[in-house]
Amino acid sequence: MGDAMIELTNVKKGYLMGETEVQALRGLDLKIESGEFVAIVGPSGSGKSTLMHIIGALDVPDRGEVLLDGRDISRYGESELAELRGKKVGFVFQTFNLIHTLSSLENVALPLTFQGVGKEEREERAADLLEMVGLGERLKHRPAELSGGEQQRVSIARALVNEPEMLLADEPTGNLDSDTGEDIMELLTSLNRDKGMTVVVVTHNPRDAGYADRTVNMIDGMIRNGRESDGGH
Amino acid sequence: MLFDYLGLSWHSIRNRKLRSWLTILGVVIGVTAIVTLISIGQGIQDSILSEFEKLGYNTVTVLPGNFDTQRGGFGNASAGSDTYLDRKVVEGLDRVKASGATRTETGLIQSEKLDGQAFLRITGMSQTVLTNFDDYFNGFQIEGGELFSFGEAANEVVIGSGTAEELGVTAGGVIKIEGQEFTVSGVLKSDDESDGGFNFYGDLDSGLFVPFGTMDKLYGGGDKASLLLVEVFEDADVSQVATEIEDAFTAKDIASTTITTEEISNRVNNVLGTIQIALAGIAAISLLVGGIGVMNTMYTAVLERTREIGIMKAVGARNGQVLRLFLIESGLLGLVGGTIGTVVGIVLSLFAGRFIDQALSAPFAPSFRPVLIIGAVGFSFVLGSISGVLPARQASRLQPVEALRYE
């Protein structure tokens, strides 16, 4: 294992649900090393997604420290967070979150647009990645013309296009049948193993968690002590 | 970079075609109204001014009587005025290069073919009117026969084509004016431009024309003139000479009014300019409505695409980039509307121009100045962008996590 990719210390985050404040994270500590494959598991409402959002610089905590590559990002402003999202992290969502008016190629190339990369290079990199995830023949298809598994591959390609240091997947198999889900998990595993990518997967599927090097159990906004376990895939 | 954003914006506009087109239609109507009204207004202005400019900027027109030119009473030189000018008065002035005189009376006309007699307008003109102010009578083109000779004492008359028809004579024929026999030396070419339009001389087709001296023979009065055209030396101050002319007439106890081309063009510009601003203002209201349409559409688009905005932010889009994306999109709605509106406006005013051309005596063409075209298209882009500012700001400030959660 390498250096700490991300380190959370006493992170707290609350939400207003109507009038009542819900504590999603209640003083959470977590450390993920560079090159690790970590699964975060736990029942719904345990704060998994909130944790994921904070790791992925989509949100900032109310309290506590979030070190990404040694820098505290917990007080970052909007544009600094946007820069992190654009360069350091790649997101894979349960619902794929592809833009349905754009083709696979355009969806994958989209993050590069915001980094000011020229059209030619964007499309070349996007095409390479789509090739890598096995969709070399599907560049011009729109999401609606693709199967769920194919859409998730497009979204993985999109997450990789900025060459991030870390891939975050929030229930990546949640909307897929089990065979397709396994394919996706295999793909994430190979990214971790072959390319050294840090991969963090949020899941409530024990089978998915089995692919990871390490499983982090969450409950009630905390990591359940002693239940961090090494995966055995 | 800009082109990438344009591409993305264009994508989403095309993706909701009907709504986009309806929004664009709102802008189109406003821009069409503005382009049509301004180009026609400008065309009318140009047409009127060109008519006066034929006289040249160094020409002073002198009319008898105290017309209040402020109220635009320069319409017809002979109308309702029983005073005359004396053509000798202007000839003595320093800075006058040349002067021409016309005198118009109503003459009792008889001819063989005509049953009984007719009262027709008869105009006497000095030779200088044709030599120095040839545009005044629109070239005075003779179709049949020839011009009368100014110097000789022979009774010769040139008549308009309508008059020729009415009197049943052609060139070489004989008619009687105030009982005296006159030979028709020539018939004027039918003049499309002269029917009731912006000129001093009235309808060329229905008049009779004789040398200035002949008027004295017919009606007496010597140098009495009903209109003088004065050509001023190029280096002279035209309005100053105009004042001198008025003063010279005042000294002789003759009321006179001078009109300079510059004065007329200023006044026409003023009046028509004001009318155009008023019309453009009305058209601008419809454009404003179009802008509100764009704003409405963009607010809906932001709501609809909340999730998309969340995705863009999740993959690294900054607030400013999302803002720009939406601004360009609304600007595009304006730009497309403005471009179509300008084209429709041009077509519409060319079409309307044909009718106006028939209604006006002067040749009319709507005027499409580059500033109007560029202004209309540019303004509609700006209008679209401005209408998009608030929705785009709302979009850019969405929290990524909440935007992604939006169903």
Domain ranges of chain A: 4-230
Tell me, yes or no, whether B81 lies in a domain: yes
Quick one: pLDDT at residue B75? 44
Same domain? For B188 and B324 the reply is no
Convert the pLDDT of each residue in A149-182 to its tens digit. Answer: 999 999 999 999 999 999 999 999 988 998 999 9
What are the phi and psi torsion angles at B296 (to 5°)? -60, -50
Structure token pair of residue A117: 């990369």
| Contact call for residues B126 and B215 (beta carbons, < 8 A) | no
Same domain? For B314 and B369 the reply is yes
Same domain? For B76 and B223 the reply is yes
pLDDT range class, residue A148, cuts 50, 70, 90:
very high
Tell me, yes or no, whether B249 lies in a domain: no
User: What percentage of residues in chain A have a pLDDT greater than 70?
Assistant: 95
Q: What CA–CA distance (Å, rounded) separates A46 from A216?
A: 12
Mean pLDDT throughout B94-107?
88
Asked whether the predicted pLDDT for residue B44 surpasses 90, the reply is no
CB contact under 8 A, A111 and B318: no
Quick one: pLDDT at residue B1? 66
Same domain? For B308 and B380 the reply is yes
Same domain? For B103 and B216 the reply is yes
- The partner residues of B63 in beta bridges, in order of sequence, read B257
Of B4, B11, B318, the CB nearest to A82: B318
Convert the pLDDT of each residue in B180-236 to its tens digit. Answer: 999 999 998 887 654 444 456 667 888 899 999 899 888 888 888 988 888 888 888
Q: Using a CB-CB distance cutoff of 8 angstroms, which residues of chain B are in contact with residue A169?
A: none
Same domain? For B188 and B273 the reply is no
Q: Determine the residue of chain A that is closest to B316 in CA distance.
A: A86
Convert the pLDDT of each residue in A64-89 to its tens digit. Answer: 999 988 889 988 988 899 999 999 99
CB contact under 8 A, A91 and B313: no
Same domain? For B144 and B283 the reply is no
CATH architecture under which domain A4-230 falls: 3-Layer(aba) Sandwich (3.40)
Quick one: pLDDT at residue A110? 93
Tell me, yes or no, whether B259 lies in a domain: no
Domain end (from B218, B235, B252)? B235
Asked whether the predicted pLDDT for residue A35 surpasses 60, the reply is yes
- Nearest-neighbour CA in chain A from B33: distance (Å): 35
- The partner residues of A217 in beta bridges, in order of sequence, read A41
This prediction's pTM: 0.71
CB contact under 8 A, A111 and B316: yes
pLDDT range class, residue B253, cuts 50, 70, 90:
confident
Convert the pLDDT of each residue in B267-284 to its tens digit. Answer: 888 888 888 889 888 888
Chain B positions contacting chain A at CB under 8 Å are 1, 3-5, 8, 11-12, 15, 307-308, 310-321, 399-401, 404
Asked whether the predicted pLDDT for residue A193 surpasses 90, the reply is yes
The answer to which of B88-92, B295-299, B304-308 has the lowest mean pLDDT is: B88-92
Mean confidence (pLDDT) of chain B = 84
Domain count, chain B: 2
Q: What CA–CA distance (Å, rounded) separates B136 from B139?
A: 7
Of B4, B317, B401, the CB nearest to A59: B401
Asked whether the predicted pLDDT for residue B68 surpasses 60, the reply is no
User: What percentage of residues in chain A have a pLDDT greater than 90?
Assistant: 70
As for the ipTM of the complex, it is: 0.90
Tell me, yes or no, whether B215 lies in a domain: yes
Quick one: pLDDT at residue A82? 93
- Nearest-neighbour CA in chain A from B331: distance (Å): 20
Same domain? For B86 and B150 the reply is yes
Tell me, yes or no, whether B115 lies in a domain: yes
Asked whether the predicted pLDDT for residue A54 surpasses 80, the reply is yes
Tell me, yes or no, whether B261 lies in a domain: no
Domain of residue B42: give its range.
2-52+266-405
Q: What CA–CA distance (Å, rounded) separates B390 from B83?
A: 69
Same domain? For B203 and B328 the reply is no
Same domain? For B28 and B66 the reply is no
Q: Using a CB-CB distance cutoff of 8 angstroms, which residues of chain B are in contact with residue A59?
A: 399-401
- Nearest-neighbour CA in chain B from A106: distance (Å): 10
pLDDT range class, residue B72, cuts 50, 70, 90:
very low
- Nearest-neighbour CA in chain A from B319: distance (Å): 7
Interface contacts A/B by beta carbons within 8 Å? 67
Tell me, yes or no, whether B252 lies in a domain: no
CB neighbours of B77 closer than 8 A, spacing ≥ 6?
Answer: B63, B64, B102, B104, B200, B226, B227
> What is the CB neighbour count within 10 angstroms for residue A101?
18
- Nearest-neighbour CA in chain B from A233: distance (Å): 30
Same domain? For B145 and B181 the reply is yes
CB contact under 8 A, A58 and B314: yes
Quick one: pLDDT at residue B202? 65
Same domain? For B283 and B397 the reply is yes
Quick one: pLDDT at residue A166? 93
CB neighbours of B407 closer than 8 A, spacing ≥ 6?
Answer: B307
